[in-house]
Structure 1
């Protein structure tokens, strides 16, 4: 098993769970809870990981939505600035229709419109590049 770097705070929470079956998350910061999930996963504490996932979904759904929005915006920015990364990908032909439509709806896609249509036609035919 690889060496795992665990803070004393997280170690204390996990040890209390292992020996007492009790975990108290109410006073912990969100980032600490996410760290506990990651470390519990590395330690293969499946039951604890599942409990923590359920806790996060039930108690911090808006945090998850916000993080997903940040990730989506990050990738949309990459796609807009470097569309060839997607359009010239070996797997472009297998891109789901909804994903392609989402990309094409980007107003500031930095690619010639004629070239975009060529890619869309090749996608429609299922052709590889």
Structure 2
């Protein structure tokens, strides 16, 4: 059986090796700041990974300790800078997630900005019909660049998706209104 004090001590030793430049025998280049050493045995280039992000990954490899909280700012930056279309297509999910936790402040800010400046993209996203009513109200209130008839059409589309039993033929609406 392994001594319960051995694993924490071994993990600490691995972290010390990570921080000690004497035993580095791998060169890994990422971002614009390559991590170099003498006596290279292996050379790996990862130009799309920021040095700070890779440091977090190395700490996991050496010590099996990964703090996802540390990765959040890098993930947010990556999504905002490289995956704008994906954010727009999955706006309802990203928006809700950004407000469920105080960890996603940059995504929240990006979503709020998208609502105020590019409402049309959200109205035209494939998942528009599944957005919550609260978000729909925010969109309606900030529809500055859309004509009211377009906004109305999106509201009807959203309402029909929420209540599939309603008739989708607009002439039926007129009949329903006259009955009321």
TM-score of Structure 1 vs Structure 2, range by shorter chain: 0.3 to 0.5
Q: TM-score, normalised by structure 2?
A: 0.36
Task: Find the structure with the greater CA-based Rg.
Answer: 2
Q: TM-score, normalised by structure 1?
A: 0.46
Q: Work out which structure has the larger RCO, using CA pairs closer than 8 Å and 6 or more positions apart in sequence.
A: 1
Structure with the larger helix share: 1
Structure with the larger strand share: 2
